[in-house]
Amino acid sequence: MGLRIGTEKFYKYFEAFGYLSKTGIDLPSERMGIWHSTFNQVELAVSAFGQTFTVTPIQHIAAVAAVANGGYLVTPHVMKGTVDDYGKIMETYKADPKRQVISNKTSETVVGYMQGGVENGGSSRNAYVKGYSVAAKTGTSVKTDIRTQTDETKYIASCVAFAPADDPQIAVMVLVDEPV
């Protein structure tokens, strides 16, 4: 699939979803992931299924939230705002869209697939919550740097989810570093 998309388009979307920049979250010392210094067909072949580069959890949840909210990438916030000692609002934070990464129609299609993975016994079936429409996607990534250094294979397992799938109000990411 990655080869059909091609290096230029893959890179364009990787950047558009915010993986090549900081999110701007209202927390100190945000870091960025690590991306290839060159990006050719070999890197594309493994990057297309999530290997050989790193992203931060906040970059990833922001990208997933863009899928959830009609394709719009927004700056994530931990706080709604700040108040002074007297309860006066000093500053507020809004989820203003930075840009539209994918169309609303594409967003709906991907959300449908993610919801199906939960409801139809797919790899995201454990994200099922009775009474809620949940959309989720699992992922497994090899820690390539460890394998290169020690010839030992270690993994990071993850699941991103949001609910309700048709009107997202919450997004969650679960990471398990080196599950046994």
pLDDT digits (tens, 9 = 90+) for 76-119: 988 888 899 999 999 888 878 899 999 999 999 999 999 999 99
92 near 81, Cβ under 8 Å? yes
Report the greatest alpha carbon distance in the chain.
Answer: 59
46 near 97, Cβ under 8 Å? no
Distance (Å) of CA 99 to CA 91, 103, 165: 23, 11, 21
The reported pTM is 0.87
- Rounded Cα distance between 154 and 76, Å, is 30
pLDDT digits (tens, 9 = 90+) for 65-87: 999 999 999 999 888 888 999 99
The 10 Å CB-count burial string (b at 16+, else e) for 153-165 is: eeebebbbbbbeb
Distance (Å) of CA 57 to CA 35, 83, 174: 15, 28, 9
